[in-house]
Structure 1
């Protein structure tokens, strides 16, 4: 079933929604190659069987830990020897609890975790910013009950650039790459001709601009994808979504995503070098239409505009080039002044509604937010604020934009 759905995804006849709406059942380990199984959920867990036990690539989220465990145990009872984290995001590193408990019950060694050395620093940062991360993820995914983990399973083995792991008859060539994160690991298993890409490939446009998260690395991400493509592997298993089978397809997918990122980087840097401001650049830089049309590069999660902002942040810092933005006034004070000039906050709200009707959503968002800041207790303006941001959320194409607009509507 998983590989049949993968074919539909490649043809553009199905998308990632199948992993959310239950079309691809969770809690099942799908064997897609000899001794290789994928347990799909929000994030994939890949299991490789060796003569000396199992190796997990990623472990899943806390809410799928038990179902993933049951699925893997139904597929194979062998002990889990190692677990490799592709990176430290919580949907990839919070699923080892049931396997640790099993090892304790059996008086056995618990799985050894391997990750890039920067994962430890990420976990430490997550502890320091737990409440912030809870709020960010609740807003991003539209889930006010989102729970942020309090404890993390730290790796026992870390590496810096490359690490070679031999388990039974299989070799795991682990390589570091900065991309979505600074702590990312991708792997090649030569005996299975298999690439484990983690979140360097996710069946969406790359998550390289997320407006609520830390720095991402577009150019280095593209370099890693091209290194994978050079391996000419016959199977690619991503961190999210269906596997890709066939050398030509694997190579095409990897090089397309690399070219997508390289195009955004080159366009952004060219404009920066010509002295353009960020607010100009985000409206000028565009993904080539040939790439934007690919079924695995739809901007349904992140958006190219956000990636451009992250490229600017990496190479140019946080100031956007507008001298008035260097030391901005208090937002509520500026809103009051602009409302005064407009003849009152209700005039701003009315003009925002007109902008929405005139298909100028960015103008509508800015004006209604100013009106709301100028008169935060006005019921009519509150209602208009909610209506406009609800409409903007409904028309948003990416999950990140939709989540932020919905949070504004309910604020």
Structure 2
């Protein structure tokens, strides 16, 4: 019996009987998958139990609840939905043994002591850890989780266990949502504005916390159905882990702007008696990120740069490709600046490491893994290996493969290796045939015809499936479903293939992608919300970014042959923009005004915020006298009519969109800004 619960960043998540597949069309692991998993249990270094010892060390208490409710009435967090993983001696052949190990490690739940009397963490309340540094008078909090509700519950729990203390400072280690979204659960914005509470963040934090998820935000949110498996049931046959934590909380995500910015490569600061040295590490796991060294405690905070997994160089939900070499170099800087003296290393995910020898081992392992990835992929590329081959060629050396901290749970060697080539050489493999290929729906009918039609392809696909040759089967079945999107027999067979591939994958991002695709092929595009940020993030958008995104939303078929210029002014913050529609492109430039503009639009930025979050419309602001139009209103009306409102119901796999799917269209409040995608998990 399936029981729905709202979780996973707002998505509708289903829990099910772990002994049965949640889908009537689902299959158990095949003999080939079982054989592969058994081989991995024999060949991976399971005798190394240090991570389990470290994950348990310092445990103080766990709460008597497994669920945290959101203010809206839904379940914000449900650790109990993963308890099937804790069944003693249970090996699930539907889960890669290494991933099952990681998923069990991420079941840590409660309050943990990192340094007696000084540093604590609450783990298992969200995707990230929330860390508490005990100052002279109060708590300094590092990374207040994704949601207000989970962060507030963590603060309440530590105060119950260790005594009530005020929060005197919050540190955002970087610009992803699971590291700032819960801030309103631990501090009051008025105390931040007054300076009573410091919020400390790396340079560029506000820009990157928002900009990464706006321009392609709807597409990112749709792709999260795959990477995060946000609508997959929590089950041995479905969602089991998110590599750096169990999942993303589904509560109120907020943002309070920092009042203290770390600008230098290294910057020292003492807050409430705690001396900290911040190391800016831009261009690593996030474009704005920083590590922290506590010299008096010999403790190193590794942010999300060093956790219990090799991370994403390319994030499957969509993001700019990261720099594996720079990541390696910044770890190296930390190793020699702080790692020589560190006695404890803790981070925003996973568990701490204690003892200098162990810390240096982990730092070197992750440094070398990122460096090897970058250098060896380029070594191969310089010998002619292409972006379409490298994932089948690149391998870690055994010296790294035999260390758990070199395993790519959040990333994968396959998609990260392709990302390195993409960063340096782009998506093209230099074969002219692939430079401007036919779209799949155009090329597929030719392939199907040449292969002798659907029946022959299905028969061959079944043979390949029965032989365990799953990637070969995908090659022909994918062609068939693009040629015949309504062929449910073909879609079901491809789903069977994807399912076995998903079971076999170590990375939950890759596993989820295959299992979510199988679900959609069998059942159609699921209904439900994807993880997203909150209205605070919309209010924090720069005016320029909002205007840029209006250009993305422009329906060029409605703009053909039209031209206008608009002076856009927000007097309360002194901003002025010139907006121009020309050649079916909407552009803007800050600080420029045209004396010959067709229209002047004036509105305070504080009033514009109400429009952006959808509390009111631009027309209502005009009626209230809080916005003015001077000149030809036609430009305003035309722009509003040209703007498209995107929605999540678009097809990724052919033949999966329901008949009643909402069309992409305009709306009654065209200048509203939809909440951006959630960057939790990086």
Deviation at 1:148, TM superposition (A): 9.2
CA distance in 2, matches of 1:284, 1:6: 34
| Contact 1:59–1:92 (8 Å) recurs in 2 | yes
Going from structure 1 to structure 2, the CA distance change for 1:335 and 1:228 (only over 3 Å counts) comes to same
CA distance in 2, matches of 1:106, 1:86: 17
**Aligned partner (choices 242, 253, 262) of residue 351 of structure 2:** 242
Q: Secondary structure at the residue paired with 1:137?
A: helix
| Contact 2:464–2:470 (8 Å) recurs in 1 | yes
Residue of structure 1 equivalent to 2:272: 168
Which has the larger displacement, 330-339 or 359-368?
359-368
| Contact 2:55–2:105 (8 Å) recurs in 1 | no
CA distance in 1, matches of 2:251, 2:428: 31
| Contact 1:16–1:241 (8 Å) recurs in 2 | no
CA distance in 2, matches of 1:248, 1:203: 17
Identify unmatched segments of 5+ residues in structure 1.
Answer: none
Going from structure 1 to structure 2, the CA distance change for 1:246 and 1:20 (only over 3 Å counts) comes to closer
Question: What is the correspondence of 1:129-278 to structure 2 with a 5 Å cutoff?
Answer: 129-144=216-231, 151-160=254-263, 161-177=265-281, 178-214=283-319, 215-230=321-336, 231=338, 232=340, 233-278=342-387
Deviation at 1:390, TM superposition (A): 1.8
Do structure 1's residue 6 and structure 2's residue 54 form an aligned pair?
Answer: yes
CA distance in 2, matches of 1:86, 1:105: 20
CA distance in 2, matches of 1:217, 1:151: 29
**Aligned partner (choices 100, 108, 131) of residue 46 of structure 1:** 131
CA distance in 2, matches of 1:194, 1:15: 27
Do structure 1's residue 57 and structure 2's residue 158 form an aligned pair?
Answer: no
Residue of structure 2 equivalent to 1:94: 181
Aligned pairs, number? 404
Do structure 1's residue 69 and structure 2's residue 171 form an aligned pair?
Answer: no
Going from structure 1 to structure 2, the CA distance change for 1:150 and 1:256 (only over 3 Å counts) comes to closer
Deviation at 1:100, TM superposition (A): 2.3
Question: What is the correspondence of 1:389-400 to structure 2 with a 5 Å cutoff?
Answer: 389-400=498-509
CA distance in 1, matches of 2:295, 2:199: 21
CA distance in 1, matches of 2:192, 2:417: 51
| TM-score computed with the length of structure 1 as normaliser | 0.89
| Contact 1:345–1:374 (8 Å) recurs in 2 | no
Q: Secondary structure at the residue paired with 1:278?
A: coil
Bigger Cα Rg: 2
**Aligned partner (choices 83, 94, 102) of residue 170 of structure 2:** 83
**CA RMSD in angstroms, aligned pairs only:** 2.9
Deviation at 1:329, TM superposition (A): 0.7
CA distance in 2, matches of 1:133, 1:278: 22
Do structure 1's residue 35 and structure 2's residue 118 form an aligned pair?
Answer: yes
Which has the larger displacement, 147-156 or 277-286?
147-156
Deviation at 1:375, TM superposition (A): 0.8
| Contact 1:162–1:175 (8 Å) recurs in 2 | yes
CA distance in 2, matches of 1:276, 1:105: 56
**Aligned partner (choices 109, 117, 120) of residue 25 of structure 1:** 109
CA distance in 1, matches of 2:138, 2:309: 33
Q: Which has the larger share of helix?
A: 1
Cα distance per residue 1:349-375 (max 9 Å; x no partner): 332333333333222222222111111
Deviation at 1:107, TM superposition (A): 12
Deviation at 1:150, TM superposition (A): 6.5
Identify unmatched segments of 5+ residues in structure 2.
Answer: 1-49, 58-97, 233-247, 521-682
| TM-score computed with the length of structure 2 as normaliser | 0.55
| Contact 2:183–2:254 (8 Å) recurs in 1 | no
CA distance in 1, matches of 2:197, 2:433: 54
| Contact 1:80–1:99 (8 Å) recurs in 2 | yes
| Contact 1:271–1:281 (8 Å) recurs in 2 | yes
| Contact 1:205–1:302 (8 Å) recurs in 2 | yes
Do structure 1's residue 313 and structure 2's residue 418 form an aligned pair?
Answer: no
Going from structure 1 to structure 2, the CA distance change for 1:29 and 1:114 (only over 3 Å counts) comes to same
CA distance in 1, matches of 2:409, 2:461: 26
Do structure 1's residue 112 and structure 2's residue 160 form an aligned pair?
Answer: no
Residue of structure 2 equivalent to 1:122: 208
Deviation at 1:340, TM superposition (A): 0.7
